[in-house]
Amino acid sequence: MELEGMKTETEKKINELRTKTANQLRIYQSEWRTAMINVKGSVKNEMAEMPSIGEYAISGLIAGLLSRKAELIAVAAELASIVSGTFQEELDIHSPSRVFKGFGININEGLIQGIQESSKQLNRVMRNVYGSMTNSTQKMIQANNNINSNNVPVPNHTTIENNYNMQFYSPKALDPYETARQNRNALRELSLQV
């Protein structure tokens, strides 16, 4: 029985401690909530003052710069002179600029490389042109041969005209291969002169 009384007393004390702890915890939560609201309010107030702080800072900076206007102008002129001199030195400007001269050379070299890299396409197109010129030339030669078979005298040279208004003179009649070769050489010379 004695133990039973002790058990009841212990349970009673445990319940009292729980109640006391719960009450204390509620007090702490309330204090924490109040403190956070105060912090939030003070931060909000501080942040609301930031624009005016920024305005004052800029106004102070402007006033400070204006009070030293003569020195500021002298420093700006010195900096401009340094920048100008550096540009002339680094870009090697001596009317005309040697650096820009180099750019011009590089542009031309790039153009040449571009033409060289597309030469396969150009050759393919030119072969098609030569082929059509060869066919035209063969037809002209056949027409000349037909005239020759009618006992019309053949002049001592052959003139072949094409769509590019080129004329080739030869003491003898040219075969289609030689005509195409002459056309190719003439077109190559024209392309170098452009």
User: Exposure of 134 by Cβ count < 10 A (0-12 exposed, 13-18 middle, 19+ buried)?
Assistant: middle
**Which band of pLDDT confidence, cut at 50, 70 and 90, is reported for residue 156?**
very low
Evaluate if residue 164 carries a pLDDT over 80.
no
More confident residue, 126 or 64: 64
The Cα–Cα gap between 105 and 194 comes to: 19
**What pairing do the DSSP bridges indicate for beta strands 158-161 and 167-170?**
antiparallel
Q: Which two tokens stand for residue 176?
A: 């289609």
More confident residue, 191 or 86: 86
Please state, rounded to an integer, the average pLDDT across all residues of the chain: 77
* Per-residue pLDDT reduced to its tens digit, 81-98: 888 888 778 777 776 767
The Cα–Cα gap between 126 and 133 comes to: 10
Q: Which amino acid is at 171?
A: P
